[in-house]
Structure 1
Amino acid sequence: MGYADLLKKWATSHGDVEAVKQGNKVYTYKKLNNRANQLAWALLDAGVSKGEKFGTLLYNSPEFLEIMFGLQKIGAIPVPINFRYGFTEFEYIYKNSDISGLFIEKKFVNKTRNFFKTRKITNIRHTFVVDAPPDQDFSDMYNYEKFIKDKSETNPDINIDDEEAAFILYTGGTTGYPKGVIYTHSNLYAASYLTPTHGAKLIAEKKIPETILLPPSGLKMKFLIPTPIFHISGILTIITQIGLGNFIVFPVNSSFDPEEICKIIQDEKITTIFMVPTMYRIWLDYPDLDRFDLSSLTVLGSGGAKMPREMKIEILEKFPKVTLVDGYGSTETVGTSTIAFMTYEDIPKIKRGYIGQLVTGMEMRVVDENMKDVPIGEVGEMIFRGKNVMKGYYKDPLKTERTIEKNGWLHSGDLCRMDKEGNIYYVGRISEIITSGGEKIYPMEVEDYLKTHPKIQDVAVTGVPDKVWGELVTALIVLKPGNDMTPEEVIEYCKDNIASYKKPRIIKFVNRLPLTEVGKPHRVEIKNLALSLVGAELPEEITEKVVIDRVVVKEVEEETESKVVLDKKRKD
């Protein structure tokens, strides 16, 4: 059974219920299913076969949902692509994914034509302009509305096995080129019920409020999703809410606009919003936030990047009646693997790095490099097993074999500690560990401590090569507006509070840090920036994205105001 059968189910059982809204555009479940069926039949009439892959260069919109389901109904595979990519990144995904068609915004028509011409792309058979007026023609592309017009609204009778590919989603590429993660229909089903099942269990145990899954009296569940749909956070939220038959609202603006977010919450009586920490920071800093009635909010969800403890507390103090939902997940597990439900009363118990507990329906172990379970409280790699674990990496069997054990355990590459109550605390990536003087240092621990300084807005810690120490702990620091700070102040702040070997040996103040589209630290670019500012040679092992990253380094370097402390012989 294909995942799109869920849409068919809801269209049959409560077809007149609203499914998705954007501005003045509203689709019921029946309309969403009918339009997905029209696309499915149009593609079949155009000769599209099961297994063909279609890229999407689209903003959040109801059309994205109908395209996703329309493709899945005939066994074709959606491949969401980051619309901010340049030609180099797009060409990599184009070649790696074997897409034969594209769905694009009208805004990207010229960009797409230029890409085809300059990169000599000849085997894209179908390109559809999704938001073009129905009467607009293109010499080399299809008008999407014309393409599906007058097609049958009945469900195509095509057998879809639940172990067939339903999606290929590319990772964010924070440590190298993106990897194409294959999701089966079974993966999507599993991911869509994991969080609701876990929430229902905790509600039954009276550990969290019912408003996690049920609306307050007089309201209905409405989910606002500004998170981009080319990212796993957006995809997971969509498949979960469609799986539950809930109502999704998309912002109109393609760029994050805190005023629009506030207006939508107020006008639509939004109960739940899902955003990444960067969006929350912009939203919380919006000066007119208190001018809007945001009282309908009952759940604030976060993901895509680690939310600092200070931000969690700030949110719960600002909105004491909401439940803050945060956790840990990865593209390889279709998102959520651990989850934390936090209320205002939980503030005293919120610890640094806390990512909740394992969701119901998954297995997890914390292991050493030999796959042996580590003792409670010690650091080890998180490995996962469950129905939501990806099928593998597209066209990369070797990397798949290295990531997924034969017995189904997925290596996350992430480190954590677990206490005896099952609470999990994120430590960092294995690949980010700094080895200095024989000691292992987890960058996130140093970052979290430095962020407690009242003058520091953000910080990234990495290692740069050193002949004596192996690596030197290097801190790139962004100060809060209007503040000034010296390296000596940073060192003094670390004194007696973190281990001497963890203290930064190189300190540089920058105007901004390289981040991914969802606000995660871009570790390759951060490493390259640190090396560039320090003047060190690029190590041989960091080669995958040099061409792309050097441009970013130059852009950041031009904005950078550096103050350096470099004393290899300093005594602690």
Structure 2
Amino acid sequence: MRTMADIPRLGQSRFPDKIAISMGDDSLTYAGFNQQVNQAANNLIEMGVKPGDRVALFANNSLEYPVVVYAIAKCAAIAVPINFRFQVKELIFVLNDAEPMVLYVGSDLAALVSEALPKLKAPPKVVALENLAEGNITEPDVVVDPDSASMLMFTSGTTGFPKGVLFSHRSYLAVGHCLIIDGDLNHHDSVMIPLPLFHNGGLNALLMPSLMVGATAIVTERGFDPDEILETIQNSKISLTMLVPTMLAMLINHAGADKYNVSSLRKIWYGSSPISPTVLKTSMGLFDAGFYQVYGQTETGMNSILRPEDHVDHSQCTGREMISAELRIVDESGRDLAVGEIGEIISAQQPLGMIEYFRNQKATNETIRDGWIHTGDLARVETDGLFTIVGRIKEMIISGAENIYPKEIEDALMIHPAVREAAVFGIPDDIYGEAVCAAVVLQPGAQATDQEVIAHCEKHIARYKRPKKVEFHQELPKNAAGKITKNDLRSPHWASRNKAI
């Protein structure tokens, strides 16, 4: 298995009659999946798609989605999954940046595409995803280079428009192998995919390794619906899934969650954002499963994991390097730091990381230096080799010459029983330069004052780190990928200043 194009073909030869993917009442065996992939690939070739061309997908989850993704791989073309939550402005930006030759569209998003098309520099050929044409089921006569680009993924864009990140076949398969080995995935597993397939988590962290080993992947239909998730675990005897902390919080707070039989679920991968100790502990009570925290970025691929045995004493750590990963903690000059010292975490570009930012050499040069991807995450290495993320370089607060890391304060806030979500950032202070501000969302029906929240923090962190101001919100601003956009919280406080730190 050298490229993504090999995955459907080898799946058919190894497990022809086994269910590869199911969604609702529909399913595809490994043989059926490969045949549909071949049909779609041969149709793309007839449309004139050549190696290196971009082919985009703008659609909700469906069985056709992975068929087209792997068909693109068999053409040696580049798949461009687009966030289905994007509005017209974002869609126009991504399509103008990627310039796909073909765009597959879900029927419910067709009107949005029609609005965007007249504003594109090079409008693509638009194809309805639900109506894939029948065609030749033989393997396409295309040689796929493992080091060629396979996918163009766009970042979340928390501070502006997203950047396109280009990946090779080799790097994605390396990530898949890491997750299979370190995440204990095998062909006996039934894998639930509750994440969008445009997202790295759904498409490449869950579906791809599942297909690589011959497991059965069950894709959920209704976005994130707690009842559907719990019913799917019960009825499909799900043994492995991946959830983000927000999903875990919704499940443990869901009325009637305990009426479902979820005993089949043995492995839960989680990540993408910090998890509160309360949510993690309660989740471990609801699900009698091994918990695996996975860490990585769009640019780096998944590169570290906190396995179940490490959760006993180190549940707030990020994890250890995955089998093919190499991480370092460095200072601003690139010097490696000692155990316990805080610096930037950098990840070896090969074999897991990106090729480059698409058509953005400046950003590529800033991020990839001497074969290392600079993540912008601040971290330290513990004495036992575990990594702990403490925040983002750009989010660090400097107050009275002290470096304050928002994540440490957010962790303290999330221990408070009344707090559901929290985001910490710096605001202007005439004496100290910056002061700590906490934006908080309370649990439904819960009450707390700003002074109670501040007093709570003082019990868990040094006094100089405590919030000077607490803002209560009904909800926190998030981007299309569901990540909190702290700049939207921070910028109003700096609007009257000539310079934001």
Q: TM-score range by the shorter chain?
A: over 0.9
Structure 1 residues 26 and 351: alpha-carbon distance in aligned structure 2, compared to 1, 3 A threshold? closer
Partner of 2:211: 242
Partner of 2:396: 433
Post-superposition Cα deviations, 1:459-483, rounded to whole Å, max 9, x if no partner, equal 1110123343221211111122223
Q: CA deviation at 1:517?
A: 4.2
Contact 2:428 2:494 in 1 (8 A): no
Contact 2:241 2:268 in 1 (8 A): yes
Amino acid at match of 1:195: L
Contact 2:303 2:352 in 1 (8 A): no
Q: CA deviation at 1:115?
A: 2.0
> Secondary structure of the equivalent of 1:124?
coil
* Residue correspondence of structure 1 range 206-285 to structure 2 within 5 A: 212-214=184-186, 220-235=188-203, 236-253=205-222, 255-285=223-253
Structure 1 residues 45 and 91: alpha-carbon distance in aligned structure 2, compared to 1, 3 A threshold? same
When the two chains are superposed, the root-mean-square deviation of aligned CA atoms in Å is 1.9
Partner of 1:112: 113
Contact 1:377 1:418 in 2 (8 A): yes
**Is 1:312 aligned with 2:280?**
yes
Pick aligned residue for 2:165 from 166, 177, 181: 181
Partner of 2:79: 78
Amino acid at match of 1:80: P
1: CA distance between counterparts of 2:434 and 2:341?
Answer: 24
Partner of 1:395: 359
Structure 1 residues 535 and 168: alpha-carbon distance in aligned structure 2, compared to 1, 3 A threshold? closer
Partner of 2:45: 44
Partner of 1:464: 427
1: CA distance between counterparts of 2:276 and 2:497?
Answer: 30
Structure 1 residues 497 and 291: alpha-carbon distance in aligned structure 2, compared to 1, 3 A threshold? closer
> Secondary structure of the equivalent of 1:36?
helix
**Is 1:340 aligned with 2:339?**
no
Structure 1 residues 463 and 281: alpha-carbon distance in aligned structure 2, compared to 1, 3 A threshold? same
2: CA distance between counterparts of 1:14 and 1:278?
Answer: 35
Contact 2:42 2:136 in 1 (8 A): yes
2: CA distance between counterparts of 1:198 and 1:293?
Answer: 27
> Secondary structure of the equivalent of 1:339?
strand
Contact 1:464 1:536 in 2 (8 A): no
2: CA distance between counterparts of 1:333 and 1:467?
Answer: 39
* Residue correspondence of structure 1 range 51-130 to structure 2 within 5 A: 51-117=52-118, 119=119, 121=120, 123-130=122-129
Structure 1 residues 444 and 293: alpha-carbon distance in aligned structure 2, compared to 1, 3 A threshold? same
Partner of 2:331: 368
Whichever of the two has the greater Rg, that structure is 1
2: CA distance between counterparts of 1:261 and 1:213?
Answer: 20
2: CA distance between counterparts of 1:503 and 1:259?
Answer: 38
> Secondary structure of the equivalent of 1:458?
strand
Q: CA deviation at 1:418?
A: 1.0
Amino acid at match of 1:361: S
* Residue correspondence of structure 1 range 167-178 to structure 2 within 5 A: 167-178=151-162
Amino acid at match of 2:215: N
The percentage of aligned residue pairs carrying the same residue is 31
Amino acid at match of 1:341: R
Partner of 1:511: 474
1: CA distance between counterparts of 2:311 and 2:11?
Answer: 39
Amino acid at match of 2:14: S
Q: CA deviation at 1:446?
A: 0.7
Instruction: Report how many residues are paired.
Output: 498
| TM-score, L = length of structure 2 | 0.95
> Secondary structure of the equivalent of 2:284?
helix
- Gap runs ≥5 in structure 2: none
2: CA distance between counterparts of 1:401 and 1:446?
Answer: 33
- Gap runs ≥5 in structure 1: 132-143, 200-211, 543-572
Q: CA deviation at 1:18?
A: 1.2
> Secondary structure of the equivalent of 1:451?
helix
| TM-score, L = length of structure 1 | 0.83
Post-superposition Cα deviations, 1:121-145, rounded to whole Å, max 9, x if no partner, equal 36323111122xxxxxxxxxxxx33
Amino acid at match of 2:291: L
Contact 1:333 1:389 in 2 (8 A): yes
2: CA distance between counterparts of 1:179 and 1:401?
Answer: 14
1: CA distance between counterparts of 2:333 and 2:150?
Answer: 34
